[in-house]
A and B are shown apart, each in its own frame.
Chain A
Amino acid sequence: KNEVEQSPQNLTAQEGEFITINCSYSVGISALHWLQQHPGGGIVSLFMLSSGKKKHGRLIATINIQEKHSSLHITASHPRDSAVYICAVYGRGGAQKLVFGQGTRLTINP
């Protein structure tokens, strides 16, 4: 079993819908990343968080350290949000590598 699990693996929605992607992890972490990989292949870091909540435009990321769970929300989704969203964690105790989830493929239809 992977240390970082995402759900769902695939998600299709209509434009305008509220989107939630979940990430659960089984190890102690120092920080969690949400990344976006566009159909063209490039990877962009959306958020890095270690507690609470962060917001950027229509994107919101939350994390619950006690429950080892994070969510990425997209409000008023748009076809340009179609991408693979990847959760990744930095372990605690000096572990300097990111461990990745398997990604969630999001498709927003017009």
Chain B
Amino acid sequence: DTAVSQTPKYLVTQMGNDKSIKCEQNLGHDTMYWYKQDSKKFLKIMFSYNNKELIINETVPNRFSPKSPDKAHLNLHINSLELGDSAVYFCASSFRAGGDIQYFGAGTRLSVL
């Protein structure tokens, strides 16, 4: 049973399209995260939710909108995709916000053509 699962694993799309990435965790954690890993493998936080409430919103374009329908799910919707959005997006979760071990999903490789 996968603890943090993301879908899809690969996403290839044209510029200008809208796409979503889904994330679910079955660990009973309160906090979930979205990270972006660029081509140099550098990871950066995008968003974090704690019990469905947004607690971290880094400098991310408005085209990116997270949604947490319940504390086990955190989805990422991206409007009007641009070439620079191509990256690997990781979802993660932790028992609580700040200072806890984080468990990562397998990543979604997004390629914008």
Contacts and interface: CB of A to CB of B under 8 A. Distances in A.
Contacts of B104: 35, 42-45
Contacts of B58: 97
Contacts of A100: 42-44
A30 B103 CA distance: 18
A96 B50 CA distance: 10
Interface residues of A, number: 24
B106 A94 contact: no
A8 to B, nearest CB: 15
Contacts of A31: 99
A96 B97 contact: yes
B113 interface: no
Given A86-B43, A100-B44, A94 B102 contact: no
Interface string B30-62: 010000000011111100101000011010000
Interface residues of B, number: 26
Contacts, number: 56
A41 interface: yes
Contacts of A94: 98
A48 interface: yes
A33 B102 contact: yes
Contact of B56 (A35, A88, A96): A96
A97 B48 contact: yes
A37 B50 CA distance: 25
Nearest to B109: A41
Contacts of A84: 41
Interface string B93-113: 000011111111011010000
